[in-house]
Amino acid sequence: MRIRIFTYQLLILGFIIVLWEFSSKVVPKIFLAPPTNVFPLLLSIWFDPDTYPHLFTTGFEIILSFGLATASGLLLGFALGTWRLLRNAYEPILLAFYAVPSVVWYPLLLLFLGLDVASKIAFAFILSFFPIILTTIQGVTQVDKVLVKAAYSMGASKLTVFYKVVLPASLPIILSGISTGLALCVTGVIVGEMLGGIRGLGVLIASAATLFETAHYFVYTITVILIALLVNYVSKLFEHLSWRS
Amino acid sequence: MRKPHLLIQAATFVVGIALWETVVSEGYVDPLFLPAPTKIFFSLISLYPATFAALYDTLLKTLVSFSIGSIAGVAIGIVVGSRSLLHDVLYPYIFGLYSIPRMVFLPLIVLFLGIGFNSTIFYAVLHTFLPVIIVVVGGVKNIDRRQILYAISLGATGRQIYSKVIIPAALPSILAALRLGIIFSLLGILIAEMYLSISGVGFLMQKLSFAFRSADLFAVTIVVALLAIVISAVLGEVSKKIEERR
């Protein structure tokens, strides 16, 4: 059964590539670059040192914004999760902000922080902060109260209860929020770069498209897709590990 | 005090605004970038004249792309969720597409459909129907298998299984998907408008940003954000009512 599914999946992928090759023979060159052009170009661009500053910028933006969002989201999430009064006050506000289409904030950030990396980092931070803090709150509040009471009655200190009961019991939910946050972080950086920037893969995509360098556009797009899929795969792996333990 | 959290909310709001006003009026930040709340308030009252036409344009496009994207998404989600071979084969592709930044496809869409209404709608439909599919598939997969088996053993036809068992049982997740879908639709339209810069409130915001009209930009941002919050709250209430009825 597994092999059958895998075969079908490969067939779909093969069909897409063949369709892509044939349709690029039919339509004008600026619309589609055939895979037989794109893949050789892919290798030459990947090994071109001129690409590295762009890759580095995008990677730096992703890592910094994700780190900031995770640190602050976890910290504030645990605070709100354990402190009921604060949670009642601020959780509705956070949920309301989360319902706003995130790109609304981007022109403001562009105005405050300029075209360089700062605006992308701030935008990706906003995107990934909300799922992380909201799932942390949810994770902490769904911990079984009986477990917490039992630990206290056996003489555990507040710190011990946090490390030995609350944290392990809420970890799977929190990790799912972090993995959503990471995916949104990648999206935020790319969207930010495409809407206006100086360096980065998103800037390369937008400028290749504007210049009708379709083969280059495909190469950069495939690179971003591969990065996003890799990031997604790694974070799902972590999530599965936490469920098992 | 019966509801202390409301007091905290109000206090946060007041202190935040007051702090902001002082920081700007004392000259710690350049008002060109961060306008004082009072200035934003005046911009809100006398809203930038093009805002209403732009909002109307954006909401119309959102409605069109939401209708196409959510109908397609719910239909595909129900089919993919209920056929296990189809699910196992297609779901990795759907989830893969969902997890990559979809904006990378926008330039290609523009190449094929040109700058304008068509490419904006196409992009927003793409933006809408993937999350809708994911949520609906999750809901259909979660249905108790026994319910379907009972229906089959009682002689239900294929069509009845869908209309009497699967769709009613998956209704909460379909409603959740629609709620998510409208926000994703609006998000897609705004992104496309900002990127294509031809019309709508996304374009207006981008323009105000590049023209350094920060108070006007703040006012428009607040209006759009409030609109999204209201839409999502209203849909939340409506779906709660529908679920209570059952």
Q: What single string gives the DSSP state of each residue in A176-209? A: HHHHHHHHHHHHHHHHHHHHS-SSSHHHHHHHHH
CATH number at residue B108: 1.10.3720.10
B109: nearest CA partner in chain A: A31
DSSP-assigned letter for residue B48: -
Say yes or no for a CB contact (<8 Å) between B206 and A105. Answer: no
Residue of B99, B105, B111 lying closest to A31 (CB–CB)? B111
Q: What is the domain extent for residue B202?
A: 57-245
**CATH class, A33-244 region:** mainly alpha
Write b or e for each residue in A170-188: b if 16 or more Cβ atoms lie within 10 A of its Cβ, otherwise e.
bebbbbbbbbbbbbbbbbb
CA-to-CA distance for B239 and A210, rounded, in angstroms? 43
Angle at A101 between CA B110 and CA B101, to 5 degrees: 50
Residue of B5, B107, B228 lying closest to A209 (CB–CB)? B107
Are B235 and B182 in contact by the 8 Å Cβ rule? The answer is yes
Q: For residue A213, list chain B residues with Cβ-Cβ distance below 8 A.
A: none
CA-to-CA distance for A56 and B177, rounded, in angstroms? 36
Give Cβ neighbours of residue B225 (< 8 Å, ≥ 6 apart): A97, A100, A104
Q: pLDDT tens across B103-117, in order?
A: 999 999 998 898 889
CA-to-CA distance for B156 and B161, rounded, in angstroms? 6
Angle at B181 between CA B179 and CA B186, to 5 degrees: 105
Q: In A, residues 32-91, which contact B (CB 8 Å cutoff)?
A: 85-86, 88-90
CA-to-CA distance for B13 and B4, rounded, in angstroms? 14
Quick one: which of B40, B56, B231 has its CA closest to A108?
Answer: B40
- pLDDT of res. A206: 93
Along chain A (245 residues), what's the average pLDDT of each consecutive run of 10 residues? Answer: 88 92 85 87 89 93 96 95 89 90 91 90 96 94 86 85 86 89 94 92 92 91 93 86 69
pTM of the entire structure?
Answer: 0.90
Share of chain B above pLDDT 90, in %: 44
A104: nearest CA partner in chain B: B221
Long-range contacts from A159-168, C-beta under 8 angstroms, 24+ separation: A162/A78, A166/A82, A166/A140
Say yes or no for a CB contact (<8 Å) between A101 and B186. Answer: yes
Token pair recorded at residue A52 = 């590295």
Confidence check: pLDDT of B1 > 60? no
Q: pLDDT tens across A63-114, in order?
A: 999 999 999 999 999 999 988 889 999 999 999 888 899 999 999 999 889 8
Q: pLDDT tens across B211-241, in order?
A: 888 888 999 999 999 999 999 889 889 988 9
Q: Domain limits of chain A? A: 1-32, 33-244
Nearest CA-CA distance, residue B218 and chain A, Å: 7
Q: For residue A8, list chain B residues with Cβ-Cβ distance below 8 A.
A: 85, 89
ipTM of the complex: 0.87
CA-to-CA distance for A146 and A165, rounded, in angstroms? 11
Say yes or no for a CB contact (<8 Å) between B6 and A31. Answer: no
Does residue B36 lie in a domain region? no
Are A73 and A65 in contact by the 8 Å Cβ rule? The answer is no
Angle at B169 between CA B164 and CA B175, to 5 degrees: 115
Does residue B32 lie in a domain region? no
Domain count, chain B: 1
Share of chain B above pLDDT 70, in %: 99
